[in-house]
Amino acid sequence: MTSSASVCDRHRYRSFQATSRRRREWLDERAVRRALRHDQKNPLYNANIRQLIHVGFKVAAKMGPRYLEQLKACRESCARNVTGNLFDRHIKPLFL
């Protein structure tokens, strides 16, 4: 099994050596959301950035109460996105 650190290390240059056009796109928060959302048809989708975010969740969980407070503050948005990802994109196509 590959550790998160080695995955990030292996892809770090590929993810961040972007063209100047890509750098400008990252200034737009909608572009960041598109890069993070698991939609492989979207040209802005970036699996390396998603991996970095997954590593970040592990770090955030170690922050304990501070992380949980922020999670509660963003509950509506988190719930909507988790439901959209798990239910609408994975469960629904298979079972409904």
> Domain spans of the chain?
1-62, 64-96
At 43 the pLDDT is: 86
* Overall average pLDDT of the 15-24 stretch: 59
The band of 31, judged by pLDDT with boundaries at 50, 70 and 90, is confident
Q: How far apart are CA 47 and CA 14, in angstroms?
A: 11
Q: Is the pLDDT of residue 68 over 90?
A: yes
What would the DSSP string read from start to end of 32-87? Answer: HHHHHS--TTSTT--HHHHHHHHHHHHHHHTTTHHHHHHHHHTHHHHHHHHHIIII
Q: How far apart are CA 45 and CA 89, in angstroms?
A: 16
At 20 the pLDDT is: 63
At 29 the pLDDT is: 78
Residue 13 structure tokens: 């240059």
